[in-house]
Amino acid sequence: MAKRITLLFAGLTAALLSVSFTDADKRSRVIIHTSMGDIKVVLYDETPGHRDNFLRIAANKTLDSTLFHRVIKNFMIQGGDPDSKTAKPGQGLGNGTLGYTLPAEIHPALFHKRGALAAARLGDDINPNKESSACQFYLVQGQVFTDSTLDIIIKSRIDQPLKQKIFAAYINDPKNKSTKDAFIRAQQRARYLNNPDSLNMLSAQIDPIINTQFEKTPHRVITAEQRKVYTTLGGTPHLDGGYTVFGEVESGLDIIEKISLLPTDGGNRPNQDVRMWVEIVK
């Protein structure tokens, strides 16, 4: 999702599908009408910038006639590119903008469960503040995880990248030049002499330092409640903490499912155009 703003089950209770809805719930809602059915979405008050922007572009018809231009089964469906309104068959999409971005509103309690509405954005390399596209968004389909596969995702896709950043900062600190030089020599011995002993010994010395710094650094922790959702309802946990989640589907998960099953081209654009028209629910 970074490169090109790149990036249900019967019997589940409503508690898994919503964030404490009550009879007094006055939050804003929209209906995303598509050529394959309707998707009703509630917008979170906890993300007012994204909520108000989405309502504004819905009211002025910015999203009307745009396509769901990027569809990946068991992951998500993405749309809202203004260039898609007049796109020819096979035309690459995903780079359209409205000329402005939105400050990130990332909250740990708002996560990528199935049916989550989130903002697409450019990647960290050119967008370190994780600012959101003003128009492109995605709806999560995801998949259901076992506890063991969820643990693997947490370690490999959430914890490990942060530890790599901490390691890079540590090894490139001028105060640690001698350690860096020793590490480079150890890597060379492991690579060219097939002797990893020095590298293993040095890593054993550095790892506790990295792990200590990791524990002191704010990082994504999946709560017991979120684990329950990911192992029953499903979602895309590796996106947590990286993108702003600003709403969720109240009805129409089956429509997301249908769209996700469409055949696509090499750029994940459906061969069959799926257009949208967004209506604000009064």
| Residues 18, 247: Cα–Cα separation, whole Å | 9
Rg, Å, the chain Cα set: 22
Query: Using one digit for the tens of pLDDT, what is the confidence trace for 52-70?
Result: 999 999 999 999 999 999 9
Query: Using one digit for the tens of pLDDT, what is the confidence trace for 87-136?
Result: 999 999 999 999 999 999 999 999 999 999 999 999 999 999 999 999 99
Q: Label residue 24 by pLDDT band (50, 70, 90).
A: low
Say what the pLDDT of residue 34 is: 97
Q: Where are the beta strands (DSSP E) in the chain?
A: 29-34, 37-43, 68-72, 76-79, 101-102, 116-119, 132-133, 137-140, 245-251, 276-281
CA dist list (Å): 172 to 168, 169, 206: 6, 5, 13
72, 259 contact by CB (below 8 A): no
Please determine, for residue 173, whether its predicted confidence score (pLDDT) is greater than 50.
Answer: yes
Residue 245 phi, psi (nearest 5)? -90, 125
- Nearest of 139, 100, 96, 171 to residue 248 by alpha carbon: 139
Q: What 3-state DSSP class applies to 191?
A: helix
More confident residue, 162 or 131: 131
Domain segments of the chain as ranges: 14-143+234-281, 148-216
Residue labelled with tokens 């896709």: 157
Residue labelled with tokens 């996560």: 111
Indicate the pTM of the whole model. 0.81
Percent of the chain with pLDDT over 90: 80
Other beta carbons less than 10 A from residue 46's beta carbon: 15
Please determine, for residue 256, whether its predicted confidence score (pLDDT) is greater than 90.
Answer: yes
CATH class given for the domain over 14-143+234-281: mainly beta
Query: Using one digit for the tens of pLDDT, what is the confidence trace for 178-228?
Result: 999 999 999 999 989 899 999 999 999 999 999 999 888 877 788 999 999
Which range is least confidently modeled, 15-19, 24-28, 159-163, 193-197?
Answer: 15-19
What value does the mean pLDDT take over residues 219-240?
Answer: 93
Percent of the chain with pLDDT over 70: 91
| Residues 162, 139: Cα–Cα separation, whole Å | 26
Please determine, for residue 4, whether its predicted confidence score (pLDDT) is greater than 80.
Answer: no
| Residues 38, 50: Cα–Cα separation, whole Å | 21
Q: What 3-state DSSP class applies to 76?
A: strand
Please determine, for residue 15, whether its predicted confidence score (pLDDT) is greater than 60.
Answer: no
Please determine, for residue 21, whether its predicted confidence score (pLDDT) is greater than 50.
Answer: no
Say what the pLDDT of residue 31 is: 98
